[in-house]
Amino acid sequence: MITASPHSRLSSAAPDWRALWRDAITDPLELLQAVGLGDRTDLIPSDGAGFALRVPRGFVARMRHGDAADPLLLQVLPQRAEHDRVAGFTLDAVGDMASRSGQGFLHKYHGRALLIASGSCAVNCRYCFRRHFPYGEEIAAASQWRDALAQLEADPSISELILSGGDPLSLATSKLEDLSRGLAAIPHVRRIRIHTRLPVVLPERIDDAFLKWLASLPLQKVVVLHANHANEFDAGVDAACARLRDAGATLLNQSVLLRGINDHADTLADLSERMLAAGVMPYYLHQLDRVHGTAHFEVGDAEAIALLETLRARLPGYLVPRLVREIGGDTSKRPL
């Protein structure tokens, strides 16, 4: 009997992810036209709300045509409400800069260090908690990761390395290979965790070269995806998730609770069920990080807790994400 290789789920005819990245929609008017809302220019601010639009066309194809309330569209379309100044909403809601201990190196929690691997994303989510982050000075991948690797080597308490951003999978696989070569000399780092939205919004990124690198890592591998709605999953995303599992990764998902997008028990239950079908386990449901420009997405704590209670009554426990808030200076995420 012939056994399929771990990467046989990937078609050699798949489009190059870098070309698809470059072809992303960056003009709000073009996005409206693509989803059948070309006459609804009233939906968008004239200046893009100070945070650029970027969304891959494959993700746009999953949006409901002609629906201004589509939950995928609302995650990426600039809105006038982003200009509102709301008390309690700041530029650095989670205390990233206070936890910085080197170039792109954040050390918030015991045993874990986070690298700002890249400042680039394939999609710009309007609720992004790092939409004001100074990426220009804070990229850990600079200089072949030397500063980050030196800090990791000097602190034997760190057993898990988290790659974040931006999106770490925006980096070329050769850049990730540079990092893993350096990690080989640091035996106390036993696990790598990659926080990425690319397998969801641009699943073509999970290509042969990346899978070969991931499978070769002599570390425990955890990939934390970011999806907020069941409609974000399609056959391409399912296939990317299967490839990641084939390469030895444990797949988790973290979502953000967002007003008008997933603030309903049915929507959250559908998301958990759809993730399980793709081989992804729910991890966190984050309360919105209170970053300037995002207040219109906020769901109150009492409403959020009630939603989770409804989910617990409907779903098996393993499909109920943990509702948390991140507070700068805390030693862990704060359960609600």
DSSP at 291:
B
Distance in angstroms (rounded) separating the CA atoms of residues 1 and 208: 24
**Residues whose CB falls within 8 Å of the CB of residue 48, separated by 6 or more in sequence, listed in order:** 28, 78
Q: Which residue has the tokens 């970053």?
A: 291
285-291-296-302 Cα dihedral, nearest 10 degrees: 50
- Identify the helix (H) or strand (E) that includes residue 106: strand 105-106
- Identify the helix (H) or strand (E) that includes residue 118: strand 112-118
Amino acid present at 140: A
Amino acid present at 49: A
Positions at the binding site for [4Fe-4S] cluster: 121, 125, 128
Please name which of 324, 326, 327 lies closest in space to residue 335, comparing C-alpha atoms.
Answer: 324
For residues 90 and 290, the answer to whether their CB atoms sit within 8 Å is yes
- Identify the helix (H) or strand (E) that includes residue 164: strand 160-165
Positions at the binding site: 121, 125, 128
